[in-house]
Structure 1
């Protein structure tokens, strides 16, 4: 493809790294077929909401932004954000999508209050690992992580979880309650969906909140009867960061806070596996097979 050229209000950027997200797989599979964020071009599809980090030729200052899986891209200036010294490309990519997601899950949607218990599903993943750390930063009373392997559960504990359990649906409620000293959970953050989401509803106490922000199981959750929610005044909410970025841009105070926490060592975005751009298929297959931890990166 020819090199793009910048118009007024845009900047040409040399891409240093591009993040791999589960949404890319859904786009490639044709599962994001409706709405303003669906692919509008025929194959080959370059996932349209890929986050990237790179250098601006004009002044070689670091920047990160959305939308690029090529060696060069043009980006609107309102999506350029200077990176603090010491924050690498992989960390920046994790903060931009997964970090903003975790921040809004806890602050904007679940509205966490000091002392509340938080259950984080897939806690060794990009968003989950940051949600564990931010829950601690925001004053959670007890953080319970779920993960699929002993190694991943150990990582969640290292990142600040108080307990780490297997996320399998069998006896899920009993494991969560036991990890929370017999108390029901206040908040559950779920990106798995399907039967896991259904099981998680049974762990919530009065005024509990479950936030769904993905469905990596690719299974539909059971229909939830309103009466099931009403008994304990439970809230089920959804969240997707992409429309938020599209509407507000990336240069917000939340992102600045996340970058500052990272630069000061208070937040540890997990840099995962790196792939040459020609191995994008391998990156997607590893993500589907849950063979990776942290933020996966493509290097053009």
Structure 2
């Protein structure tokens, strides 16, 4: 089978399309023929070996796929611990979900990792309450574009999205954001970013921040929180850690910082079932609109990673293993 393999860590240049033997299912696993594979920002960390879990070479990246069981069967979308960038993958049927006919491969891939992340960020980690203000960092991205829509649907009083270009800010507003902010304001001084977030919230501090950049964006977002506000950290795309949050800064302002990593839901599949059943139905009904970011041939995997790293993309990126 054709697959993308990494034999050394680095940037997009280490991604190579090669021929490999078909994977062999273990106990409780199924072999699937892949029609589309999802690309995530986290995959770029995996390629660099800079993510939360250490990686072992050689490896085939990719945590999500749409396909059918080898030999035939219904179309499913699934999560795997690796190997998604390939024509075939092995996975656990317990971590797959049937895809309704009204949902495309691209939409299903937008939901299975990024959609479930957005769902749990708001429901499980932030415990969003009706009327609360929500800041969505990278509101035109895969997670952010869905989080904006879900926050509005679940009664957020005001949704503020950050995005790095006028086009991305316009997209976030089309999806339901009440206001948008340029994250570049945090480049020199996080206080400038804090002031912009408060201005976008009518001069008030904000209740919830979904944060995936780190560095000054994290620090500026944290400073913008109201008493009892929550910042949920689920990534560090800027590759720069924020300044340490000290207990006095939490206690003295009654603010909270919560971490979220979807991998912890893998051992609790019911948490994924709750999110996927909701997200797939909303999408099939047209109430939720996953944003497509482009379909790349498997042979153009380096270009896909370069585009996502340079922030040229919006929405969900997909690899086509047949090309």
- Separation in structure 2 between the aligned mates of residue 285 and residue 73 of structure 1, nearest angstrom: 24
Structure 1 residues 145-172: Cα deviation after superposition (integer angstroms, max 9, x where no partner): 1111000000000000111111121521
3-state SS of paired residue (1:258): helix
Alignment of 1:1-300 (within 5 A): 1-6=20-25, 9-32=28-51, 37-40=53-56, 42-43=57-58, 45-47=59-61, 49-67=62-80, 68-168=84-184, 169=186, 170=189, 171-248=192-269, 252-300=273-321
Report how many aligned residue pairs link the two structures.
Answer: 294
3-state SS of paired residue (1:53): strand
Q: Is this contact kept in 2: 1:79–1:249, CA < 8 A? A: no
CA apart distance, 1:9: 3.2
Q: Which moved more, 1:212-221 or 1:76-85?
A: 76-85
Q: Is this contact kept in 2: 1:78–1:251, CA < 8 A? A: no
- Separation in structure 1 between the aligned mates of residue 304 and residue 32 of structure 2, nearest angstrom: 23
Q: TM-score, normalised by structure 2?
A: 0.87
Q: TM-score, normalised by structure 1?
A: 0.94
- Separation in structure 1 between the aligned mates of residue 147 and residue 70 of structure 2, nearest angstrom: 34
Structure 1 residues 150-196: Cα deviation after superposition (integer angstroms, max 9, x where no partner): 00000000000111111121521221111111111000010111111
Q: Is this contact kept in 1: 2:116–2:272, CA < 8 A? A: no
- Separation in structure 1 between the aligned mates of residue 206 and residue 229 of structure 2, nearest angstrom: 7
Q: Is this contact kept in 2: 1:78–1:249, CA < 8 A? A: no
Where does the alignment leave 5 or more consecutive residues of structure 2 unmatched?
Answer: 1-19
Where does the alignment leave 5 or more consecutive residues of structure 1 unmatched?
Answer: none
Structure 1 residues 25-80: Cα deviation after superposition (integer angstroms, max 9, x where no partner): 11111213x6xx4323x23x212x52111122444311011232110122212122
Structure 1 residues 244-267: Cα deviation after superposition (integer angstroms, max 9, x where no partner): 124427861211101001111111
Q: Is this contact kept in 1: 2:265–2:272, CA < 8 A? A: no
Structure 1 residues 232-253: Cα deviation after superposition (integer angstroms, max 9, x where no partner): 2000011011221244278612
CA RMSD of aligned residues (A): 1.6
- Separation in structure 2 between the aligned mates of residue 2 and residue 58 of structure 1, nearest angstrom: 17
3-state SS of paired residue (1:252): helix
